[in-house]
């Protein structure tokens, strides 16, 4: 990393600096469900001091940002910047080394019902013997509860969600017979039936056709109008200002986070994407020099 932490970004990165691992761990979500200090209940997602590591190699390092209510927030960064890991650790799917994540001021564990999740399309086996409606109904399993049967009303709810993303006519198709965009819309519909207040989406726009992109954007805007919040991992920098109003620039650390107008500057983008390239080039240069000297 070539940049230091005194970025002019209006994020809370600098406040996380003083925390030691100890304080972070004392905020273990298991300890209390009550809203803890400095994190009001109307903030849909508040991440502070978050570090995640695979085998001692940090993937997400000391990340902190807030997502204001009723906004569409993009998480943007190069490959391997820890975007997916960040999202997964928010939902306790990967263990964190340190840090605190609060959903509407409470830990995720007690706030699941208010969160909808759209995983990456590649994360599952699309050959699995289920049809689109089955997949969407899965969004209701938590509401239905252990061992309870799926009822007709649930299927109707799922059907409505499929209708909302424009593929109700494909409800009974096995999922491998859907196009990439239709698969993505199925996932989106599954998140929609969860009827959440905060949606976390992992690259919903990856490799989809134009019609699907339009459908997803429509759904996102509709969500926003209804006061819902969405945090979306996004890789198409060109469309960030068009689709989103907040952005988190991530490259292991938060480079900047805030309203797109203020934060989404070429300077910050250079820091997010450029730093890594420069470093790689430096290493490559060093290797070449060493080869020459041998």
| Residues at the interface with another protein (CB under 8 A) | 88, 91-93, 109, 112, 115, 117, 119, 123-125, 128-131, 133-135, 138, 141-142, 144, 146-152, 155-156, 159, 163, 168-169, 171-172, 174, 190, 209-211
Tokens standing for 235?
């890789």
Tokens standing for 194?
């969860």
Cβ 170 to another protein, closest distance in Å? 10
User: 32-37: long-range contacts (C-beta < 8 A, 24 or more apart)?
Assistant: 33/106, 33/107, 33/109, 33/110, 34/106, 35/102, 35/105, 35/106, 36/100, 36/102, 36/105
Cβ 262 to another protein, closest distance in Å? 32
Tokens standing for 15?
């406040």
* Burial annotation 160-181 (CB, 10 A radius, 16+ → b, else e): ebbebbbbbebbeeebeebeeb
Give the residue with the Cβ less far from another protein, 54 or 141.
141
Cβ 271 to another protein, closest distance in Å? 31
Give the residue with the Cβ less far from another protein, 190 or 246.
190
- Of the CA atoms within 13 Å of residue 120, those in its CB half-sphere come to 12
Cβ 29 to another protein, closest distance in Å? 13
Tokens standing for 63?
């990340």
The alpha carbon of residue 49 and the mean position of all alpha carbons in its chain are separated, in whole angstroms, by 17
Give the residue with the Cβ less far from another protein, 134 or 203.
134
Give the residue with the Cβ less far from another protein, 134 or 197.
134
Give the residue with the Cβ less far from another protein, 129 or 227.
129
Cβ 88 to another protein, closest distance in Å? 7
């Amino acid at each position: 990393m070539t940049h230091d932490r005194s970025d002019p970004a209006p994020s809370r990165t600098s406040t996380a600096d003083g925390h030691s691992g100890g304080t972070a761990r004392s905020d273990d979500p298991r300890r209390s469900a009550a809203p803890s200090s400095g994190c009001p209940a109307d903030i849909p997602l508040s991440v502070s001091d978050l570090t995640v590591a695979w085998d001692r190699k940090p993937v997400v390092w000391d990340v902190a940002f807030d997502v204001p209510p009723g906004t569409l927030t993009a998480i943007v960064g190069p490959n391997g910047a820890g975007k997916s890991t960040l999202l997964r650790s928010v939902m306790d799917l990967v263990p964190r080394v340190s840090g605190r994540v609060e959903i509407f001021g409470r830990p995720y564990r007690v706030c699941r019902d208010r969160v909808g999740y759209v995983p990456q399309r590649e994360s599952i086996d699309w050959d699995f013997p289920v049809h689109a409606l089955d997949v969407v109904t899965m969004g209701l399993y938590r509401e239905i509860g252990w061992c309870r049967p799926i009822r007709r009303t649930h299927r109707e709810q799922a059907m409505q969600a499929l209708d909302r993303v424009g593929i109700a006519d494909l409800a009974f198709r096995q999922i491998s017979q859907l196009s990439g965009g239709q698969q993505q819309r199925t996932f989106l519909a599954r998140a929609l039936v969860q009827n959440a207040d905060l949606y976390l989406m992992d690259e919903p726009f990856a490799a989809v056709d134009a019609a699907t992109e339009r459908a997803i954007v429509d759904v996102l805007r509709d969500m926003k109008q209804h006061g819902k919040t969405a945090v979306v991992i996004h890789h198409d920098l060109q469309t960030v200002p068009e689709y989103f109003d907040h952005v988190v620039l991530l490259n292991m650390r938060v480079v900047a986070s805030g309203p797109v107008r203020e934060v989404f500057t070429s300077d910050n983008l250079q820091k997010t994407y450029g730093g890594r390239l420069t470093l790689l080039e430096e290493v490559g240069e060093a290797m070449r020099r060493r080869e020459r000297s041998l």
